[in-house]
Chain A
Amino acid sequence: MIRIERRLTESRWLVAAVPAGSLVAAAILSGLILLVTGHDPVATWSRLLDRGFFAPGAMSATLVTATPLLLTGLAAAAAFRMQTWNIGAEGQLYLGAVGASGIGIALRDQSPFLVIPAMILAGIVTGAAWAAIPGVLRAYTRTNEIITSLMLNYVAGLLMSYLIFDSHSYWRDLSTFTARVFPQGKYLPDAASWPNFPLGGIAIPLGFVLGMIAAAVLWVIYTATRFGFEARVIGDSRAAAHYAGIRTRRKIVAVMALSGALAGIGGASEIGDFRHVLDPRGLQQASFGYAGIVVAALARLNPFAVIVVAILLGGLSNAGFSLQGATFPAGLVGTLQGLILFCALAGELLVHYRIRFARRAGAAPPAPVPARAEIA
């Protein structure tokens, strides 16, 4: 007989062991999928790890991929803490990229000290505004934010495509004949390229530094401010929060905007740190917003854990992009992310419950009767 009992307190060491175990279990499961489809799992995995973390320059490239994951992961963590399900980090990141690239192009002849903060601010504002739409709908019309924020991802993607492929918009390069036939965005001036900070041979992008600062700020907000406390109360019980006099509607909009602002910084960093042009196809293929959900869940919504998880998953994504081809089929990275999340969810049971393998009645020593069951 297997009995599942609720733990009174979370097991400390399991909180760390479960995510780590999930990664290992997901690696084994994905190995099975590789084996069934005729690929060598050990070779694939060692190439994945090599390209992601150990090859020369791999770590720098991984941090570039980890940056948007860190910010969308924080975006998801910020919203999920309040049980507000912002699935729209994807679209909010696109909008952040649109805003930041627009400002970067507009401030063509200015100094980097003006351009870069302006880009960050633009990313924050556009991302927050896009997220505020499902936030307002949730707060004031009780519309399910999961579906509205997700639908807006598609709209945001189409908006980017429109700006580059189907209009003569401000973002599109129309200066040459080739650019008019094969649509592409305007490249940003050098002053809009974000700096990176070398540390022991690894280049840390500015976006990643911003992400680490954001993680610390988020941690402070949720542990040491009234705002964070009220948001957590709303997450636990919206009715209780309401009776306690917390302005739940405003808070929902504020948390959604905060979440969107974080994703928006991710979009700005994609432009400033990496692409230097509004690239609708590249951004849509990367699907950083959805991966951010995986990051946040695996980090159990802890902002500092988000940093670590973002680097781990960033390495896998980075290796996935660079290895993509006949021997390394597309789709493997998403499959792997899904498997990691499944394992983490299954492991969550161990954190909250204790599994007892009890012997059949009769052979078993007289077990104490669980009091809860009696009362119920």
Chain B
Amino acid sequence: MINNTILVVIAASAISYGTPLLFAALGELLAERSGVLNLGVEGMMLIGAVSGFWAVQTVGGPGWVVLLAAVVVAALAAAATSLIHAVLTISLRASQIVSGLALTIFAGASGLSSYIGHVASLGGKPARHEFDAINVLGLQDTPVIGPILFHQNALTYVSWVLVVLTLLYLYRTRPGLHLRAVGESPATADAMGVNVTAYRYVHVMIGGALAGIGGAFFSLAITPGWLDGMTSGAGWIAIALVIFAFWRPELALVGAYLFGAFSSLAFTLQARQVHLPPEVFASLPYLMTVIVLVLVSTGWARQRLGAPASLGVPYVREER
């Protein structure tokens, strides 16, 4: 059966492993388009993972209601976390780099997410509900494309819609135009009557919400359950992805599945008894992130096509 061949299996699970990266990268992309770099993605993803899993264990009702509630809780919790970064960097003009790092330390693997996990004793418990792959239109057995495109879970399909919506928003709507203006030249946007502060706050928090959903994808779909630091660097890979994608949503999709493939390659080869130390496979996504980043940073990509001109710079009306 062709659908069991290794390439199809890797491609299908690449999409699954790539989905949380896609959510987080889209969120970070929107925040960075407004001019705010948020290095707290890893922390926000872990907050999303732990609060989503908590909601699944706590909320009652039919499975799909519980899962929907969990995604909403994860998004809200992570958005609230990102609000700290927004206040510090937008209103209080703090260094975006240090504040983002602080967010990851605060919420990360040995921070608040771990604390919540222990206080609510979530560790080592099986998930009451999880996102299962859907057999879309009964096409899951179609050769090759069946398992890849028609046998994913609901959140993956949501992420595809989200890519289209983000594209339309950025390039076909007035608020999208304003957002790009805020990221490129906040002083000009301000003179046009765009509320720079409001745009930045909103997009940092949307970024947080999407990172939270990405985190919940780990605790509700990839490895249902809760484990300290379970996203293991996915948030940082998502930040690298935004650079790799030149701040464009459609390229973020491609990049997310590329990095998803590195993760899935690790697990698939290991499951097929390829005899190499597990650490070699496990380090693949990290090493590939470095290599890909080097490639896009040199040569023709040098121009940094798409990097918002005011990324990382606080906007102070009096000092422009």
Contacts and interface: CB of A to CB of B under 8 A. Distances in A.
B109 A338 contact: no
A87 B40 CA distance: 13
A197 interface: no
B6 to A, nearest CB: 23
Contacts of A353: 93
A341 B105 contact: yes
Interface in B76-110: 84, 88, 92-95, 97-99, 101-110
Nearest to A329: B118
A342 B84 contact: yes
B176 interface: no
B236 interface: yes
Interface string A330-348: 1111110111011001101
Interface stretch (A67-75, A136-144, A207-215, A242-250): A136-144
Interface string B210-254: 000000000000000000100011001101100100000000000
Interface stretch (A117-125, A156-164, A256-264): A156-164
B98 A297 contact: yes
Residue from A143, A146, A349 having most chain B Cβ neighbours under 10 A: A143
B75 to A, nearest CB: 21
A290 interface: yes
A158 B117 contact: no
B170 interface: no
B131 interface: no
Given A143-B293, A147-B236, A151-B236, A166 B115 contact: no
B111 A337 contact: yes
A331 B297 contact: no
Contacts of A346: 88, 92, 94
Interface in B280-320: 280, 282-283, 286-287, 289-290, 293-294, 297-298, 302, 318-320
A255 interface: no
A161 B279 contact: yes
A144 B297 CA distance: 8
Interface in A173-227: none
Nearest to A332: B115
A294 B111 CA distance: 13
Contacts of A342: 84, 88, 99, 102, 106
Bin chain B's interface residue count: 35 or more
A291 B92 CA distance: 23
Contacts of B289: 147, 151
Contacts, number: 163
A158 B102 CA distance: 24
Given A6-B319, A137-B294, A342-B88, A335 B236 contact: no
A155 interface: yes
A341 B106 contact: yes
B154 to A, nearest CB: 30
A85 interface: yes
B175 interface: no
A341 B112 CA distance: 14
A37 B119 contact: yes
A211 to B, nearest CB: 21
Query: Which applies to chain A's interface (DSSP): helix, strand, loop or mixed?
Result: helix
A135 B279 CA distance: 24
A348 B91 CA distance: 12
A12 interface: no
Interface stretch (A42-50, A228-236, A271-279, A368-376): A368-376
Given A144-B243, A345-B88, A330 B115 contact: yes
Contact of B98 (A290, A330, A341): A341
B277 interface: yes
Contact of B294 (A143, A293, A334, A370): A143
B92 A167 contact: no
Among A154, A162, A291, A293, residue most surrounded by chain B Cβ atoms (within 10 Å): A154
A54 B98 CA distance: 32
A334 B286 contact: no
Contacts of A285: 110
A150 interface: yes
Q: Which 10 residue pairs are nearest across A and B when measured between Cβ atoms?
A: A338-B106, A331-B114, A331-B115, A334-B111, A341-B102, A329-B118, A334-B110, A345-B94, A162-B279, A158-B279
11 contacts: A142-B297, A143-B290, A143-B298, A151-B237, A154-B232, A159-B283, A293-B98, A329-B118, A334-B112, A345-B98, A346-B92
Interface of A: 6, 33, 37-38, 85, 87, 137, 141-144, 146-148, 150-152, 154-155, 158-159, 161-162, 166-167, 285, 287, 290-291, 293-294, 297, 329-335, 337-339, 341-342, 345-346, 348-349, 353, 370, 372-373, 376
Given A151-B233, A341-B105, 9 more contacts: A33-B115, A143-B290, A147-B236, A151-B286, A154-B286, A334-B111, A338-B105, A345-B92, A373-B318
